[in-house]
Amino acid sequence: MTINIKNFVKTATRRQINNLDTLPTFDRSLVDYKSYSKVAGHAGVTNSMAVQATRGCPYRCFYCDVFKTTEHHFRRSVDSIYEEVKMIAGMGVKRIEFIDDIFNVKKKDFIEFFRRVSRDKLNVSFFFPTALKGDLLDKEAIDAMMEGGGVGINVSLESASPRMQKVMKKGLNIEKFHENMEYLCKRYPQAVTGLNTMHGFPSETEDEAMLTLNFILSLKWIHFPYSHIVRIFPGTVLEKFALEHGVNQAAIDDSIDKSYHEITPTLPFKKEFTVMYRLKFLTEYILNKERLLKVLPYQMKHFTESELNQRYSSYFPYKVKSLRDVLKVADLENDIEINCLKEEEISIKDINNQIRSKFPVKSKHPDAFKFLLINISTFFTSDRGTSEYDVLEPPLGLIALQSYLDEKLGPLVKGKLIKSRVDFDSYEELDEIIKKFKPDAIGVSAMTFHKDFFHEAIKDIRNRGYKKTIMVGGPYPTTSFEEVLEDKNIDICGIGEGEVTITEIIKKLIISKGKKLDDIELNEIDGIAYNKDNHSKSLITQRIVKANIISK
């Protein structure tokens, strides 16, 4: 069913793809991995490759917008995940990160995967930057993961307050979570554990906040705990909850683009309390001498010095910029010798050719439809201070889209994937790429954190003369399509199952020879939204409107 909202049209919801094994393997040759391998991704490591094993989330945490766009949680089979990991390891990649929010929901599959890795001696290290669910782990699962190469083991607590766990709909078993982390830290000190917490949920009390800090302090050997200031993103249940509990919209809007270390006007505490909280967190835990003497030797075994510099500088946005600075501040310069992992131990020899051997070049039709996919999720170098944590990941979402398009449309479509900072580092460079490639349509994706940059980039593309279809997708457009479509420069907003949806759009654009689609054509595509004012009406619609006017 098509729904009209203001001057927007939202077409019928597209059903989720429930068999992820039917999707093509990500064609890694679509981007320049040599460039990405030099810079740390979300796992905090260079020379890595990311894998996506699941989609959606079985939980309904109120600060997250995933459940709004994915009703169900689906997982690739163990066979599918393992074969991709095996292929990646065969290309010489020694570090693999799973970008899933929830990788360990199905314990049987979780254990089976790692047992296969152990059995075949793949000799790779695994990282979970977006976190495992800590209370679903147990000793058997932890043992299998560590024996199979687990290194970067992140878990998310958010809050140690039982009330806040209920309010945020996360529902963690805090006691079980604590038990698992104690076992992991004591049994496997070589595991580089990460613990994500959040500070300043609407209605949170100072006593509840201290429960979280004391939870961290009680776990002696967590390598990288984090205490992020809560940011309230538009369209989430958290925003509604915040407004209901006295947080005004202006404060929410003011805080949206702030980094996670910046104190925001949405906090339910006095600024002095948050300053005290952070000072206690940094001095009593991060800079604790006993802890640093215990964890640093393991960290240096798994990370290069530059990677550790990046990790530690994220705690101190100002004067402390490196591991050496941390040792100086903690008065450990004479107690610890810096002897980190060497770059040559983890570098991937001839990575682009290794990838090309698995994904050979496919010929395209001379008149193939040219589709430019742009990821706007990293600020330009000149603006890099805006971002709280300077990481670069290949745009896996765009790789998934183009891999699917290539499988379904073959030689009829020629895609080009680019990402801000990596492939273009200014609007001028972006314009040069567009003018050289001459795309028949452009797709742009972005996270909510980069929404202003996203709109500015699209405005610049239009101002420089691009007249054809611009479609958008990604976490920001998907969850905030009404706000996005206020931007008259945007033609179509994808809000469901991107691969299938975008393939239908491209098919229609090929038939129309690049001409923008009219309302009838758009209404035939499930999983999109568009602004009626931006699209011409079909001849059929015009006749219907004219007939209605005459009849009146």
Query: Looking at this protein, which amino acid is placed at residue 477?
Result: P
- The confidence band for 551, taking pLDDT boundaries of 50, 70 and 90, is very low
Single out the residue of 417, 370, 369, 391 nearest to residue 26, CA to CA: 417
Q: Could you tell me the two tokens for 350?
A: 């001839």
What are the Cα distances from residue 164, in Å, to 168, 262, 503? 6, 22, 42
- What is the DSSP secondary structure assignment for residue 439, as one 8-state letter? -
Determine the Cα–Cα distance for residues 65 and 234; give it in Å rounded to an integer: 9
- What is the DSSP secondary structure assignment for residue 56, as one 8-state letter? S
Q: pTM higher than 0.85 for the full model?
A: yes
Which of 276-290, 378-392, 447-461 has maximum average pLDDT? Answer: 276-290
At residue 71, the pLDDT reads 63
The DSSP line for 300-343 is HHHS-HHHHHHHHHTT-SSS--SHHHHHHHTT-TTT----PPPH
At residue 5, the pLDDT reads 58
Q: What number is the average pLDDT over the span 457-481?
A: 94
Q: Could you tell me the two tokens for 121?
A: 């001696």
At residue 544, the pLDDT reads 42
Residue appearing with tokens 């007249």: 467
φ/ψ (deg, to 5) at 311: -60, -50
For residues 51 and 98, the answer to whether their CB atoms sit within 8 Å is: yes
In the predicted model, is pLDDT for residue 385 greater than 60?
no
At residue 69, the pLDDT reads 54
Q: Could you tell me the two tokens for 85?
A: 């990991």
Determine the Cα–Cα distance for residues 441 and 58; give it in Å rounded to an integer: 35
In the predicted model, is pLDDT for residue 165 greater than 80?
yes
Report the percentage of the chain scoring pLDDT > 70. 92
pLDDT tens string 214-247: 999 999 899 999 999 998 877 778 889 999 999 9
Single out the residue of 497, 472, 487 nearest to residue 377, CA to CA: 472
Q: For residues 132 and 253, which has the higher predicted lDDT (pLDDT)?
A: 132
Q: How many CB atoms lie within 10 A of CB 5?
A: 11
Residue appearing with tokens 């979280």: 212
φ/ψ (deg, to 5) at 443: -115, 135
